[in-house]
Amino acid sequence: MTSDNAGLSAVALEMRDWLADYISSVLDVDRADFPYDTGFDALGLDSVEAVILAGMMEERFGIAIDPSELYNHPTATRFARHVAGQAGGPRTAEGAGTGIAG
């Protein structure tokens, strides 16, 4: 239940907040007391919902996300740090293209 910043960058914090917003909207997890360091499995995020999440996060942040990375970095804090680390560089044309409408 960490509410500290866990040493995350501003981008990573924004992503962590987005993950908490999204997961608490589809699962029975309290947003006010979101468990940032609990495994996605323990929160009840199944494999289909995880892939949908990856797609929505791509669209929101304009980056490419491999859904299998959710298993390698299975908490909101760890996944946000991982994705923000990748997104630090310039956005690729491919990544920006996943706005999907484009």
Partner 1 sequence: MAGLAAAAPDRLALVDLDSRGQELRRITRGGLWQAIGRISRSIAALPEGPVLVNPAGSIDFAMAFLGALHAGRLAITAPDFASARLRTRALEIAAVAGPVLVLTSDQQVADFTAAGHAACAVAALDGGAEAPLISWPDNRPAFVQYSSGSMAAPRGIAITHGNLTANQQMIAATFGTTEQDVTVTWLPRHHDMGLIGSLLQSLWQGLPCFSMPPMGFLQRPMVWLRAAQTHGATILGAPSFGYALCLRRIDPGQAAGLDLSRVRIAFCGAEPIDGSMLADFAARFAPAGFAETALLPCYGMAEATLMATTMRAGQGMIRSARGHVSCGSAPPGASFALRDAVSGLVSPAVQEGEICISGPHVSPGLWSRDGDAIHPFDRDLLQDGQRWLRTGDLGYRQGDSLFPVDRLDDAITLHGRTLPAADLENQVRHSAPPGTVEAVAAFAADRSVVVLLELARNPGCTEEEILQQVTEGFTHAFGLGVKARSVPRGTLPRTSSGKIRRAAARTEYLSPLRPGTVPEGN
Contacting residues toward partner 1, per CB under 8 A:
28, 46-49, 51-52, 54-56, 58-59, 67-68, 71, 94, 98, 100-101
Nearer to partner 1, 19 or 54 (CB): 54
Q: Which of 7, 3, 29 is nearest to 78 (CA)?
A: 7
Shortest reach from residue 71's CB to partner 1, in Å: 6
C-alpha separations of 19 from 37, 60, 63, 86, 94 in Å = 12, 11, 15, 16, 22
Shortest reach from residue 77's CB to partner 1, in Å: 22
Nearer to partner 1, 5 or 39 (CB): 39
Geometric angle at alpha carbon 50, from 47 and 56, rounded to 5°: 150
